């Protein structure tokens, strides 16, 4: 067998393995509730597998029917008991979500009815679905690749418009297309390398030209993967919001600012300094941005007791991983705040805003000397002077930050990052070898390994344990 033939075998091997797993799963017909458990007007029960059509025909009491058409019928148990008045629809395998014959039953949203119908279906030969098994079957039957299957969960759990847009992009195949494009280019490179292995002994081998051509293509692939790896820093911001900490000395007005931004009295406000000891977090929306705002303990050099000391330590730790900072200053204080050096080093004009509070009182400190390189706004939370302009000011700072004000379309998760880094390491090994006297066989091995690793992202190459782990995080009926 030639090396080029081995490439074709490599590309075809995994789909065969996936098909074998799919055949194993198709022996079972599964059932699950597809809507949230609880009381509602309607509940949807899903069925998928080889028994779907016979169960459907039995329930609607007819042999001929039109697919994808709602049928009204009375659902009777095996013993003839009326379980509910339902609507049912049959999806043939070519047009179903799972790639198998499937049925959906629309019954009243009473969990007793759902449980009775599900139990009856199990008595007729179905079994209860495992978490994510419908989507897993869709993947194994080629309806979705693994990136798109993961995106189904992201669409369900998206908490803001930006997260929803990115999840929809992935569900539409944007990340898959990127990975498949890189893999296709690398497969062409591998074919060129394997050809040299097969024929270099019989023909004149121009090592310099060969190395230059392959190096260019490999470096292009490395840049593509590094761009995707870099996009991981947007994952938490898009899905969890911009991590924002409110910092300042005790009694500067941090909790009042937190409550104002939140629109409710969430944090305790008191004239007694040091009221906030633990970190309080809530999400808010400003413009198109989701901010996860944290109210922290007041910072001062000499804590009054171990509890306050612990609170200050927590505030510093939280600030070390924050994306955005609101530095609150009390204009009525006799001294400027003393901010720990490790926090000051994190601040710049693209991630921090100085909020000078209590301008309704006398100015007792030179606030203009406090972090002068940062944008600032003067407000009075007590008299509500300028607090609404504060949100506009926050948006202004965020708009200058390329990370916080992201407009990217592809975001990779932790699983993808691990795979991309491993694949990139193989390509960098190729890059290093191309800069030295060639050993073409080892280059081919590294490229082949990078292709195999990249296949883990879309599921072109997978293992059963990895699939079980991914789909176990889905809800039961998805």
* Phi, psi of 421, deg, nearest 5: -65, -40
Strands in 352-357's sheet, in edge-to-edge order, are 280-286, 289-295, 242-248, 324-330, 352-357, 375-378
Domains of the chain are 3-145 (3.30.1360.120), 170-231+410-459 (1.20.120.430), 237-399 (3.40.50.300)
pLDDT computed for residue 226 by the predictor: 93
Q: Would you state the pLDDT for residue 22? A: 52
The two counts, helices (H) then strands (E), for the chain are: 16, 12
Check: CB of residue 290 under 8 Å from CB of residue 394. Answer: no
Q: Is the dihedral of CA 47, 49, 53, 58 positive or negative?
A: negative
**CA 421 to CA 362: how far, in whole Å?**
56
Q: Please identify which residue in the block is written with the tokens 């019954």.
A: 107
| pLDDT reported for residue 254 | 82
Query: Are the C-beta atoms of 45 and 34 separated by less than 8 Å?
Result: yes
Contacts of residue 38, defined as CB under 8 A and 6 or more positions apart, other chains included, come to: 109, 111
Extract the runs of DSSP E, i.e. beta strands, from 399-462.
none
Evaluate whether 7 touches 188 at the Cβ level (below 8 Å): no
- For residue 58, how many other CB atoms are within 10 A of its CB? 13
User: C-alpha 348: how far from its chain's center?
Assistant: 28
- The rounded average pLDDT for each run of 10 residues, N- to C-terminus, in the chain (478 residues) is 44 46 68 93 96 94 91 94 96 94 96 96 95 92 89 83 84 91 90 70 57 87 92 80 86 84 62 54 83 80 61 75 88 82 87 89 84 89 74 89 74 89 93 76 87 88 59 69
Radius of gyration from C-alpha coordinates of the chain: 30
Residues 176/458, Cβ–Cβ less than 8 Å: yes
Instruction: Please state whether the predicted TM-score (pTM) of the whole model is above 0.75.
Output: no
pLDDT of residue 45: 97
Do the bridges between strand 30-33 and strand 40-48 make them parallel or antiparallel, or are there none, so unpaired? antiparallel
Q: What is the pLDDT, as a whole number, of residue 89?
A: 97
From residue 319, alpha-carbon distances to 65, 114, 395, 412 in Å are 63, 48, 20, 25
CB under 8 Å to 246, separation ≥6 — which residues?
A: 254, 257, 258, 293, 294, 295, 296, 326, 328
Please list the residues that pair with 242 across neighbouring strands: 291
- Pairwise CA distance, residues 424 & 414, whole Å: 15
pLDDT of residue 188: 87
Residue 225: closest CA among 83, 72, 428: 428
Helix orientation angle between 146-157 and 174-199, rounded to the nearest 10 degrees:
160
């Amino acid at each position: 067998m030639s090396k080029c033939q081995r490439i074709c075998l490599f590309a075809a091997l995994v789909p065969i393995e996936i098909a074998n797993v799919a055949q194993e799963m198709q022996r079972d017909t599964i059932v699950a509730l597809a809507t949230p458990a609880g009381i509602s007007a309607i509940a949807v029960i899903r069925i998928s597998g080889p028994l779907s059509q016979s169960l459907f025909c039995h329930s609607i009491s007819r042999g001929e029917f039109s697919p994808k058409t709602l049928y009204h019928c009375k659902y009777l148990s095996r013993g003839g008991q009326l379980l509910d008045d339902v609507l049912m629809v049959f999806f043939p395998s070519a047009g179903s979500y799972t790639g198998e014959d499937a049925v959906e039953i629309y019954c009243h949203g009473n969990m007793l009815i759902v449980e009775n119908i599900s139990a009856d279906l199990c008595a007729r030969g179905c079994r209860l679905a495992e978490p994510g098994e419908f989507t897993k079957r869709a993947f194994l039957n080629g309806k979705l690749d693994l990136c798109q299957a993961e995106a189904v969960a992201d669409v369900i759990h998206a908490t803001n418009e930006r997260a929803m847009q990115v999840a929809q992009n992935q569900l539409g195949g944007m990340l898959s297309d990127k990975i498949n494009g890189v893999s296709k280019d690398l497969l062409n490179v591998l074919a060129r390398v394997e050809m040299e292995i097969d024929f270099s002994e019989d023909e004149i081998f121009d090592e310099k030209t060969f190395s230059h051509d392959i190096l260019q293509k490999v470096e292009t692939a490395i840049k593509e993967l590094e761009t995707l790896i870099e996009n991981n820093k947007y994952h938490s911001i898009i899905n969890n919001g911009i991590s924002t900490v409110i910092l300042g000395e005790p009694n500067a007005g941090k909790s009042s600012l937190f409550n104002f931004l939140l629109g409710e009295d969430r944090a305790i406000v008191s004239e007694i300094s040091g009221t906030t000891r633990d970190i309080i977090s809530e999400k808010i929306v400003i413009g198109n941005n989701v901010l996860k705002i944290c109210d922290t303990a007041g910072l001062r050099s000499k804590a009054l007791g171990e509890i306050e000391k612990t609170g200050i330590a927590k505030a510093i730790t939280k600030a070390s991983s924050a994306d955005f900072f609101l530095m609150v200053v009390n204009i009525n204080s006799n001294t400027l705040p003393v901010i720990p050096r490790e926090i000051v080093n994190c601040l710049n004009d693209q991630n921090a805003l100085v909020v000078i509070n209590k301008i309704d009182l006398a100015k007792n400190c030179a606030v203009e000397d406090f972090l002068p390189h940062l944008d600032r706004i003067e407000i009075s939370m007590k008299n509500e002077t300028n607090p609404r302009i504060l949100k506009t000011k926050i948006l202004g700072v965020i708009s200058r930050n390329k990370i916080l004000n992201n407009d990217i379309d592809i975001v990779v998760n932790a699983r993808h990052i691990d795979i991309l880094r491993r694949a990139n390491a193989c390509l960098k090994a190729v890059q290093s070898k191309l800069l030295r006297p060639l050993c073409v066989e080892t280059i081919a091995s590294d490229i082949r390994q990078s292709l195999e690793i990249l296949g883990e992202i879309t599921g072109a190459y997978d293992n059963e344990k990895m699939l079980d782990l991914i789909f176990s995080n889905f809800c039961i009926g998805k």
